[in-house]
Amino acid sequence: MTFRKILIKFFLLTSLFCRAIILVQRKDNGDIMPYRLDSDVIKRILDGNNIVDVIEEFLPLKKAGNNYSTRCPFHKEKTPSFMVSPDKQIFHCFGCGESGDSISFLMKYKNYTFVEASEYLAKKAGIVLEERISTKKYNENKRIADRLYKINREAALYYYKNLRKFPEVINYLNSRKLDINVIKKFGIGYAINQWDNLLKYLTARGYTEEDILKTGLIIKNQKKGSYYDRFRNRVMFPIFDIKGRIIGFGGRVLDDSLPKYLNSPETLIFNKGYNLYGLNTAKEAVSNKSFILVEGYMDVIKMHTYGYNTTVAALGTSLTDNQIKLMKRYSKSFYVALDSDKAGQKAALKAMNMFKRNNLDAKVVIIPDAKDPDEYLNTFGKIKFDKLIDNSLDYYSFLEFHFKEIYENSDKVEYINKLFENIENVTNEIERELIFEKLSEKVGVSKESIIKEYNKKSRKQRTFVKAVRPAKISLQVRKITTSHEEELIRLILLNNDFAFQLKEIVYEDTFKDLEYYNIFKKMYEYKINDMSIDKDSLKDIVKDKIDVDVLLRYDDVDYDNLEALFKDCVKRLKIKYYEKEKNILAKSLIQSENSAESKKITNEIFSLAKKIRSTKEEVS
């Protein structure tokens, strides 16, 4: 049997297996703790654990082409026939026929039960197994999700067919150097400039207004109770998940009107922070290559047009850890080619620090004489862009480039401090020491003095030399940030009255670990003191905490439903906050060696799990 046939057989078995909801009850200190291990949870567990890393904990692996090999642990052999595929996230032995994923490997190698293997990997990935939901609710959610996928597919076909009726849109796309083959490949379409054209099209095909509303394709007029299309007079870009299903849309105006880009809201099937534009095709091409991270839809499309078919983009938001984990499944090497303006370069710095925190290699492509990869390729072509990639900057070189103005102004102390703020993201101590050596040579200060000062200033109070771990694990949660915080700030700028509703966050101790807690508090104080919150006053409020220009860069707000959007955003912020706090506690639980401390952490985790569940019910 060929390896390809084995893969097909394995995926058929696992797809049938994952359809069932597995409800688990485990005894622990006399308490019944119910978990749910449905296909979504199992997917999160498997996504959070690279099978190569899992198996390498127990077996020495050697690179063999795109895969890894070793002698099979399940039968005696002299020549390695046990293969591990990082692309497919499975293992297979060509000698004895054993195969499976990370969970089944632990079940076979460690004699774990399915639940024990799932719990082990969940703890390793910082995922807390939550209380179970009913089979009825799961089936209902799956039924709705399947229907939303169908509606999105129907809408994408509708948008694509509209191009034939509007040659001026075709001309616009051609002016952007997009030919018919590119249009077909990415499913680009057009939303007609009418209020309910898509709505009529979909309802005529049997879809209800209620279901269409759940996709975010239409908006409800709260006063009149009627519905209208979200996207009008826009070039439309379908957004696919890694399985090739359409989960949402991005729409771009054909002129200079605002908002320039408008994206689907988050739905049951669309979460911006867990998906990337272009990943569905890039993942197929990235073997032994690097992902190229760009900023917008047009950048991705233009890069693919010129042969850079591993290009992806975050979906109108800052890059998230979940997006990095998703890409990490397919490659551990990255290029960052964001816009060349100040906001783009700040976003590049943030992305580079996130890659470092995840112990991944990345380089920054500096784009001169153009605002983005799309414009550069149109103006200078592929050969010159290849040179930009060849001359891309590694982490330390980019830090030097980014802060060169401070250095050139002869402010060495500030320059060193700026680098300290970023170097703390480097998790590899050897790499950090090499950075200190380079920094020492550049500024003419001894490495010992630099390390001493770094240890003093480290925000996390960690020393360069490994310290002995204290017996007691602190339960204090580090500052937590979510993308929803910035969205709330943007909405308050549009309607200052929303600041009154920050009272719940400001006066509840639970949220004092939010990264932007003090900003919310100041905005609330501004409003109760009848002070206006605009772009200028916001800059005074946030100080250097946020780049306001970057914050206001993406204008994809639904202006007709601001209040509903704000309330929904607050709830989603709570969910994201609770989830991040829960994951941090889960990592503390892994390190804890004190039973009383472990029990205290466990109780806090389950308290948060209940809050997550109840808040999610409010959102849905």
Instruction: Determine the average pLDDT of the residues in 504-516.
Output: 70
Which CATH architecture describes the domain 274-401? 3-Layer(aba) Sandwich (3.40)
Of residues 235 and 111, more confidence is placed in 235
Which CATH code is given to the segment(s) 3-124?
3.90.580.10
* 370: nearest Cα among 299, 313, 317: 299
Pairing of strands 291-294, 333-336: parallel
Helices marked H in 391-510: 395-402, 404-408, 412-423, 429-443, 447-457, 483-494, 503-506
Angle between helices 39-47 and 102-109 (to 10 degrees): 80
pLDDT number for residue 298? 95
At 248, is the pLDDT very low, low, confident or very high (cuts 50, 70, 90)? very high
Contact assessment for residue 274 and residue 323, using Cβ atoms and an 8 Å cutoff: yes
Task: Specify which residues 250 forms β-bridges with.
Answer: 237, 263
CA 446 to chain centre: 39
**Strand arrangement, sheet containing 82-85:** 62-64, 67-70, 82-85, 90-93, 99-100
**Strands 333-336 and 361-364, how do they pair?**
parallel
177-186, 313-322, 343-352, 483-492: which range is least confident on average? 483-492
Contact call for residues 85 and 96 (beta carbons, < 8 A): no
Please give the residue that has the higher pLDDT: either 563 or 232: 232
Q: To the nearest whole number, what is the mean pLDDT of the chain? A: 82
DSSP string, 367-396: -TTSSSHHHHHHHH-HHHHHHHHHT-B-HH
Chain-centroid distance, C-alpha 599:
31
The candidate with the shortest Cα–Cα distance to 554, out of 281, 325, 296, 376, is 296
Fold for 135-270, please state it: DNA primase DNAg catalytic core, N-terminal domain (3.90.980)
Lowest mean pLDDT among 18-32, 174-188, 419-433, 439-453: 18-32
What are 576-588's pLDDT values in tens digits? 778 778 878 877 7
36 pLDDT exceeds 70? no
Q: Which candidate, 227, 165, 153, 154, places its Cα nearest to that of 190?
A: 165
Percent of the chain past pLDDT 90, that is, above it, reads 46
Distance CA 105, CA 54 (A): 9
CATH 3.90.980.10 placement within the chain: 135-270
153-203 pLDDT tens trace: 999 999 999 999 999 999 999 999 999 999 999 999 999 999 999 999 999
Is the Cβ–Cβ distance between 100 and 578 less than 8 Å?
A: no
Q: Report pLDDT for 24.
A: 38
- In the prediction, which pLDDT does 560 show? 55
Comma-separated ranges of CATH 3.90.580.10 domains in the chain: 3-124
pLDDT band at 350 (very low <50, low <70, confident <90, very high): very high
Least confident of 188-192, 381-385, 488-492: 488-492
* Residue-level pLDDT at 341: 92
Give the residue range(s) of CATH 3.40.1360.10 domains in the chain: 274-401
End-to-end CA distance of the chain: 46
Chain centroid offset of residue 248 CA? 15
Of residues 461 and 569, more confidence is placed in: 569
**262 within 8 A of 230, measured Cβ to Cβ:** yes
Q: Give the separation between CA 116 and CA 103, rounded to whole angstroms.
A: 9
Under 8 Å between Cβ of 313 and 298: no
Q: What number is the average pLDDT over the span 283-288?
A: 87
pLDDT at 321: 85
Of residues 132 and 492, which shows the higher confidence score?
492
